[in-house]
Structure 1
Amino acid sequence: MSIGHRTRTRSVTVFARIADGRASEVRERLRAYEKDSPFARLPGVHFARLIVIEHAVRQERPARLSRRARLLDLVAHFGRGPRPDDLPHPYLMMTATVDGDPAEFFRRLRDLGPDADAVWGDCTGYPGHGEEEPFTDFFRRRALRANYTFAGAPDGTVTEIRDAVLLRRQLAAFAATASDVSDDALLRRFRTATPPPATRAATEAPPPGLDPAEVQGLVLRGYGDHAVAAHLHLRITSGPLARRWLGAVASEVTSAADLPDRPGRALHVGISHSGLARLGVPEAELAGLPEEFREGMYAREDRLSPGRGTGPWRGPFDGAGAVDVVLLLSATGDAELEPLLSRLRRDATDGGGVRVVGEQRGRRMPGPGRTFIEHFGFADGLSQPRIAGYGRDGSGEVLPPGEFVLGLPDVDGDIAGRDLPAALTRNGSFLVYRKLEQDVPAFRAMTEAAAGPFADGADGVAAGLVGRRRDGAMLSPCPAGSHVRRANPRDSLPGGRELTRRHLMLRRGIPYGPYLPPGASDDGQERGLLFLALVGDLGRQFEFAQTEWLSDGNVFGRGAEQDVFTTAGGPGARILLTGSPPAYVNVPGPLVTCRGGEYFLLPGLEALRALSAELSAEPGARCSP
């Protein structure tokens, strides 16, 4: 059995929606294959299964629970009924274990010909087996990435396993009939056609290396010595003019190769899906980008912020595709920042093909020692993952570069973004950008109200909710439902670090707004965090952590309880603080509110230069404002 490490076999899971009213017909056709599986005709298939999922299954509690079980159920679910699984349409699920790349397996499925049409013909969007590209694209878009891979022989191909079985049978027959044989005769009789693993490994091409000169510097360095930042949010008004403008900006973007020089200022460029479209990137390339990126954060906020969605959002992020480009500037001080900011702001005009629709300033706030704090008063930016072999930043988990840079090996041994348009994404990263307003007076009032049972008073409550003391020291043991444990469970969940390391991010945020000193009354000013995270997979890293760890308590045994900084609060909202004694903290309202955000692509430098060249739009063509 293999869990979470690179193997030569891959698990494949594909969910294809069945047209309404056709599930029974699909099930009947599958029964015809019970004794003659079409997968048996395909090379490299260890296991395959087709299942029609037609109805949601409601989770029910047992009719009789022990007293202890009832108490645990009450603590976990607060007396609420279990949530039903929501499945509004029937689906055909295919699970398989195959040799090599799943994309190659999808191509081999086409060899099933009419049998493939019989199996998937009633699934919405199925194009038939006639043309390879639409056929394989149908499966690629509906494939889910597995969190775990279980295989009896994870390092053996189908051919090798069959050879091994044959060898065992031959050896058994030989042992039964021969009493004496030389070593040479034994080798001649039992030599297999498959070369040993060491020979195969020597012929495999090594994965491509990271080229710092082609990667935007923000990926490899957090610029801890940069005290100030400014973000310009731009809208493209003319594709051709914007490409010319982008060419000039690209020449000033800080690359990772510049990092040893410790630049006094840095510039990085992120482009949203709408921005790529307005620059004239062909639709075929746009369609190959991840679903999360294509839809944009505005369309996905209902699942990222359950119960709130985009209701609290403000300009410039007050609509889908509202921001096309973000310029991220940072510097050691205002004197280094302002000249570049003024020039970029001046160049971003309709005459240059872009228009400034928003501007956001950020400033680091010094904390204890050499740390920086966020507005709730805690040291921030700690326990960052490190990129294996690159950069100095980070003290946490060491991860392969493909977790953050597309086109390189990731934690599963796959090439990150293998199926994405390479010319557009190679050496790039996905940027999660969220403006998070923090209600500091409400946080302080909440911790004061709950301070009674705690020896350290309000500071003890705050530390229990966050999982750290204000100076950054981790609590021991770290409370299971605390913010830092939810954001990175480490080895506290089944699967341990092999699971959690698949969902980590590089965080590059900076506070905005004035600091409110302890004891000061509410000044009515907005303050918060400009949350920036870099990932190679938006769904597996950011969205998984946000929806499964921060917005849902089930995996931590907390039922519907959300993270203290994710919950909308209100009547009945409370957080269980484990300890001696355990206590509940009531959360009267939201402590952190997302005011807007977007998913951006931080292209590699080569891709930025290519985007600035002529694409498909005619000179002078203008985009809708």
Structure 2
Amino acid sequence: MTVLLDLADIQGGILRAYGRQGFPKARYVFFTVRDAAKGRAFVEALRPTITTAARWKNPDRGEALLRTRNPRVKDVVRAEGVPDYPGEVQLMKPKVAINIAFTFYGLVALQVPTRTLRNMPDEFIDGMEQRAALLGDDPFLGRRDAIWRNSHGENRVHIMVSLNAEMLPDGTPIPELAEETGKLQALCDASEGGVVLLTGHGPDDLPWQDMSAILREDDGQLWPTNKEHFQLSDGFGDPVFEGQLSGEAERLRAVGGGKILPDRSWAPLATGEFLLGYPDEAQEIPGAAMPIEFSRNGTFMAYRKLHENVEGFERYIEEMGARYAATFGVPQAEAEETVKAKMVGRWSDGVPLMAAPTFQDWQAFNADLAAAHAAADKPKLAQIALKFTDFQYRPDPAGAVCPVTSHLRRANPRDMLDPHFTLPESAGWDGSALVNRRRILRRGLPYGPYDNAPAGSEQGIIFLAICSSLFRQFEFVQQQWMQYGLDFNAGSDTCPIVGNHLDADAKLVITTDPATGRKPFICGALPQLVEPRGGDYFFVPSMTALRMIGMGIVDPT
């Protein structure tokens, strides 16, 4: 059955990756609640400003962006944005998208009833700090930003408000970002100490966390890119689930973003993997906090601030590139690009190794892409675009093309963990059945200077993982796939990019084609490339639940 979502009840940041939809600037602001009634008033004052997942009109075309999702209604929603039918909402795209989320102790501080809170999952109640051993964060607890080190007592983080903003031509945020920040401060002032804005971000203890897409100049204008500080392209493999898109868009995006069926075709994942109140991949609706209306259309989110050791990464790639070049007799530049691609699973511009196994294949791939652009060949461009996501690992069981412990293959093993992966006949294949319950929606943006940044700069990624079960999805991937290698027959080897490399024997094995007789190439002594700077677990409520919280009318009976 087609899943029809109540988009006006779902917060927009769940379904939308704002950074890829015209909001390359962002600011996350955190608050603590010291008076429950004033905290609820703060939430209720913010509620009308929250951006939902309701469809946006496209003002550039002067027409509705999308038709109604209700199959019984054939009319286009009127261009002025007034709903023609109940539930058929369409809004103008905002200049700043605003969303809100709460830690468990934030819900406690706002006096959400105990009967509701006790049905929250254990990992959400514990919070990220208490789960540090499971996540592999233990060695870095002392390096967290002050806001997370001090998140106890009257300084505990309770509320997170995200502001995602458009950009001016000079690369700075639009003035509305500062205006919305000022409104948040004004609400705090009006609460007379009932709600307090928490400071402590970065080495300068800033009052909020700023972020920005990495920009590039083209024809005298700045444009946002999908790069992060290691200069690797990201954002290709986000999951696609039922109801998130419609029609042809769902069919196309599910290729590479959905689940692999036994016949090797693609389908969107179950909605319940990412939104509470819907069937998941087990065809179950998991138990949730009562009343059902409090949980339905909400979800959970892991906020992670991840520092990137850019100098260490560049130095290591240069050193390993020199060794690789000497071993295989290739130019240094080719060797460095190859080592990076083998660590990540994609070339630096995002082309997957499964689509372009060698450096020469990659060059040919980009030549075809450039030719298709020059000819404005839309069918060819569409065909090439699918190659960024439409691949499986069955043709590469040994990892000779894409190493089995590369970051990409760990984060989403696709069909690789099929118990019948090596069977030559398709009759017994299970596709990606064992992986479908481990997928997460990834959100966030880079932070810190990126252009001529001084040595030792604090820079990295704000990473948001959105899923229905933090334990089954986010924590499993982080613990079992990123910080461990047994599922990939790699012992205790961790992810070469985000894994812990505190031991001198941390390594990545780059397997070669067995037919060549060449020995594998070992990237040894991996440095620590990514360090957590703090974070926590949040509940992202529906608009219905947000009204309940703000008005103090949560009734678990």
Both structures adopt the same fold (TM-score exceeding 0.5): yes
- Say if 2:269 is the partner of 1:438: no
2:209 aligned partner, one-letter code = Q
The 2-side partners of 1:309 and 1:339 are apart by 35
Does structure 2 retain, via aligned residues, the 8 Å contact 1:209–1:408?
no
State the one-letter code of the partner of 1:325.
I
Tell me the equivalent position of 1:453: 324
Cα distance in 2 for residues equivalent to 1:348 and 1:448: 49
2:198 match: secondary structure = strand
Bigger RCO (CA 8 Å, 6+ sep): 2
Q: Which amino acid aligns with 2:102?
A: I
Instruction: Report if the CA contact (8 A) 2:17-2:443 is conserved.
Output: yes
Match of 1:345 among 182, 185, 191: 185
Q: Which amino acid aligns with 2:194?
A: G
| Aligned with residue 28 of structure 2, among 219, 231, 240 | 231
Q: Are positions 1:596 and 2:445 aligned together? A: no
* Equivalence for 1:614: 552
Please name the residue that 2:509 is paired with. 576
Match of 1:488 in 2: 412
Alpha-carbon separation, structure 1, partners of 2:317 and 2:340: 6
Q: 1:601 to 1:371 in 2, by over 3 A?
A: same
TM-score, normalising length from structure 2? 0.69
Kindly report which structure 2 residues correspond to 1:142-291, keeping only aligned pairs within 5 A, or say none.
Answer: 209-223=4-18, 224=20, 225-260=22-57, 261-291=92-122
User: Could you say which residue in structure 1 is the equivalent of 2:440?
Assistant: 505
Equivalent residue number for residue 124 of structure 1: none
Asked if the contact 2:403/2:509 (under 8 Å) is kept, the reply is no
Distance 1:416 1:370, change over 3 A: farther
Deviates further, 221-230 or 448-457? 448-457
Which position in structure 2 is the counterpart of 1:294? 125
Report deviation, 1:372. Answer: 0.9
Q: What aligned pairs does 1:372-521 form with structure 2 within 5 A after superposition? A: 372-391=226-245, 396-397=257-258, 398-418=268-288, 421-451=291-321, 452-454=323-325, 455=330, 456-476=334-354, 477-495=401-419, 496-516=431-451
How far, CA to CA, are the matches of 1:421 and 1:549 in structure 2?
35
The offset of 1:356, in angstroms, is: 1.1
Over residues 350-405 of structure 1, what are the superposed CA-to-partner deviations in whole Å (9 max), with x where a residue is unaligned? 51621111310000114799851111111111111112232369561121221111
Larger radius of gyration between Structure 1 and Structure 2: 1
Cα distance in 2 for partners of 1:505, 1:209 equals: 21
In the alignment, is the contact (CA less than 8 A) between 2:311 and 2:455 conserved in 1?
no
The question of whether the paired residues in 2 share the 8 Å contact of 1:406 and 1:417 is answered with: no
Map of 1:567 onto structure 2: 500
Mapped to 2, the partners of 1:210 and 1:229 lie a distance apart of 26
Contact 2:226 2:233 (8 Å CA) reproduced: yes
- What SS class does the counterpart of residue 562 from structure 1 fall into? coil
Q: Name the amino acid aligned to 1:390.
A: Q
Aligned-pair distance for 1:314? 2.1
Q: Could you say which residue in structure 2 is the equivalent of 1:12? A: none
How far 1:416 moved relative to its partner? Answer: 4.2
Q: What is the root-mean-square deviation in Å for CA atoms of aligned residues?
A: 2.3
Which letter maps to 2:474?
Answer: F
SS in 2 for 1:308: helix
Question: Aligned AA for 1:427?
Answer: N
**Structure 1 position 589, deviation (Å):** 3.4
The Cα of 1:494 is off from its aligned counterpart by 3.1
- The answer to whether structure 1 residue 330 and structure 2 residue 160 are counterparts is no
Could you tell me which amino acid in structure 2 is paired with residue 577 of structure 1? I
1:585 match = 523
AA matched with 1:326:
M
Runs of 5+ consecutive residues of structure 1 not aligned to the other structure:
1-205, 617-625
Task: Give the CA deviation at 1:326.
Answer: 0.4
How far does the alpha carbon of each residue in 1:35-93 deviate from its partner, in whole angstroms, 9 at most, with x for none?
A: xxxxxxxxxxxxxxxxxxxxxxxxxxxxxxxxxxxxxxxxxxxxxxxxxxxxxxxxxxx
Cα distance between partner residues in 1 of 2:229 and 2:298: 31
1:128-160 Cα distance to aligned partner (Å, 9 max, x none): xxxxxxxxxxxxxxxxxxxxxxxxxxxxxxxxx
Read off the aligned partner of 1:483 and give its amino acid letter: H
Deviation at 1:569, TM superposition (A): 3.1
Which runs of 5 or more structure 2 residues have no equivalent in the other structure? 58-91, 168-172, 200-207, 259-267, 355-400, 420-430, 513-517
1:364 counterpart residue number: 213
Separation in structure 1 between the aligned mates of residue 194 and residue 550 of structure 2, nearest angstrom: 12
The residue type paired with residue 299 of structure 1 is Q
